[in-house]
Chains A and B, each alone.
Chain A
Amino acid sequence: MRLIPYPPGIIVGGKVLFKGKDLLTVSDEEMRHIRGAQIAMIFQEPTTSLNPVLSVQLQLSESLELHRGISRAEGVEEAVKLIKLVGIPDAERRAADYPYQFSGGMQQRIMMAMALSCNPDLIIADEPTTSVDVTVQAQLLELIDNLRSQFGTAVILITHNLGIVARYVDRVNVMYAGRLVETGPTDAIYNAPRHPYTMGLIGSVPRLDLPRKRKLFVIDGLPPHLARLPKGCAFSPRCQYAISRCHEERPELEEVGENHSSACFRREETEIFERTT
């Protein structure tokens, strides 16, 4: 999204290809036409992301006016339709309300309406349900999922909730200390994880379908500070399977199955780990 302010943030290398175009080389002007119109973002906290002094229809209409060049009146009309689409009852009347008049779940629906407003090709949802209750979480994620299949939008779902990942996503990238440590199809990641960090995460959460007094797997220690990364594999100080090579060299992602890669020197031995834990 190129939303990291410079300074201090600087993208030192790499490419971000979106529909074949490298987003890191396009002009600011062009980026403004992509951002919001073709790639939209749903933020974590709707309460702080919405503008408190603008009615929701005006906030929704703003991006429509900018990206589609329609008038305020048309924008507002369109906004009401969007509010209806995300399942807010009594949309005509509520459209003129201000964010504080909505509950947290409803505010997040408005964020979603905003993200959808220009029919983007990609939606980045950053912890969209962290601040809401489980029942509302289920409503919101069902909504994202329905809209995804209805409009054929691609979704990047950023979350720490392993349950949500299992229920809603097709492919998973597991990140640790700024790098991908494992990537693969959801079923493979859950049923045959090939990185000790992924294995630890999956083993550490209480599950409703397993015996209650099951001993949870505890990953000791803390994630490292990104400015003081340990030498070698960043996970090695917390990894019970680390060997001396892990503390010296950094493993790269290597294929372990179909579309499934792991960045671990001992990736071929993980099945043995599984049996011992």
Chain B
Amino acid sequence: MAQDGNIIEVENMYMYFPVLAGVMRRQVGDVKAVDGVSFQIKRGETLGLVGESGCGKTTTGRCILQLYKITGGKVTFNGRDLTKMKGKELRSVRKNMQLIFQDPYASLDPRMNAGSIVGEPMLVHKLVRGAEYREQVAELFRLVQLEPFMADRYPHEFSGGQRQRIGIARALSTRPEFIICDEPVSALDVSIQTQIITLLIRLREEMNLTYLFIAHDLSVVRHISDRVAVMYLGKIVEITNSDELYDNPLHPYTQALLSAVPIPNPVVDRQRKRILLTGDVPSPINPPSGCSFHPRCHMAIDICKEQLPEFREVGSGHWVSCHRV
């Protein structure tokens, strides 16, 4: 058991991808996808991870699962350092950590029927035998509110929402403790999004799951998460509990992100202050000097261009990296 009931601890994690150029394929730089990220997730907690595309959210998730060999830092799961594990040992831990993918169209093998998709991880990890297998698969189908007879159908026969349910059932098949949900509802229709969010919340309670919930939709993230981390260009710029983040956002980037989300009520929305960010996210190969957000920040002063702000605790459990706070 880890200290303080932390199931995941990420310490100073770096993930650089080399940029190769020329006929000699010499390394000319790095894509700094994850640039010194630290956070913990407590057992039973849901941590939201938000940010614009290309900010390193998905890479962070994949690094935790050791799907990439990280450039530096440490990831512990239940107190055990995953970065030092290999082969069999890593595989045995992996069944406790699962991933739900973004695109339910691309993430299911079109040539496997739904039952095999859901049941495969149990066979890989040798968790069931013989008759038990079909029974377990049926049980998983019921768990995500699909009819067990649908197990013989192929992915193309399902709707987007049903496919995402299959993806969830597959993730649950090894009875994991920790699940990374990588944009699980972004590809779905509004009414279906709510069905999936509600399902994820129910499963979390019933099966005592811990989630890392990656998404760019801040209203969805707030709804499902206990705490939220905001990422910008490979770094976490603010982390705090969900209510605090939305009531009292401190980083100018968080404020801008929140104000960019319109509230689905015209009267309420009209009364909100709006901060419009200019420009796009800079390239992670050559991030700006100092605070990497300064070229787009409406509060930037000279020091922001030169010095990287320290990530410090400004309130109980409220961490932020900004010179102006």
Show the binding face of A for B, using Cβ within 8 Å.
89, 103-106, 133-139, 142, 160-168, 186-187, 190-191, 200-202, 204-209, 212, 214, 216-220, 222-223
For B219, give its contact among A160, A207, A220 (CB under 8 Å).
A207
- Set of chain B residues within 8 Å of A212, measured between Cβ atoms: 222-223, 242-243, 246
- Dominant secondary structure of chain B at its interface with chain A: helix
- In the bound complex, residues from chain B placing their C-beta under 8 Å from that of A186 are 266
Q: Is B1 an interface residue (CB 8 A)?
A: no
Partner of A204, one of B194, B258, B265: B194
Asked if B223 and A206 sit within 8 Å, CB to CB, the answer is yes
Residues of B at the A interface (CB closer than 8 Å) are 52-53, 159, 161, 189-195, 197-198, 216-220, 222-223, 242-243, 246, 256-269, 274, 276-281
Known: A105-B280, A135-B256. 18 other contacts (CB 8 A): A134-B261, A135-B52, A168-B262, A190-B267, A191-B265, A191-B267, A201-B190, A201-B191, A205-B190, A205-B264, A206-B219, A206-B222, A206-B223, A207-B265, A217-B194, A218-B195, A222-B192, A223-B189
Whether the pair A208, B161 counts as a contact (CB closer than 8 A) is no
Is the beta-carbon distance between A208 and B219 smaller than 8 angstroms? yes
Q: Please state if A216 and B194 are interface contacts (CB–CB under 8 Å).
A: yes
Residues of A near B256 (CB, < 8 A) are 135
Number of A-B contacts (CB under 8 A): 122
Contact at B276–A167, with CB atoms within 8 Å? no
CB distance from A213 to the nearest CB of B (A): 8
Partner of A208, one of B53, B258, B280: B258
Q: Which of chain B's residues has its CB closest to A197's CB?
A: B191
Assuming A133-B53, A139-B277, A217-B194, is B264 touching A162 (CB within 8 A)? yes
In the complex, what distance in Å separates the CA atom of A138 from the CA atom of B264? 14
**Known contacts A139-B276, A142-B276, A222-B161; is A134 also within 8 Å of B265 by CB?**
no
CA distance A205 to B220 in the complex (A): 8
Kindly provide the distance from the CB of A177 to the nearest chain B CB, expressed in whole angstroms: 12
Name the residue of chain B whose CB is nearest to the CB of A211: B243
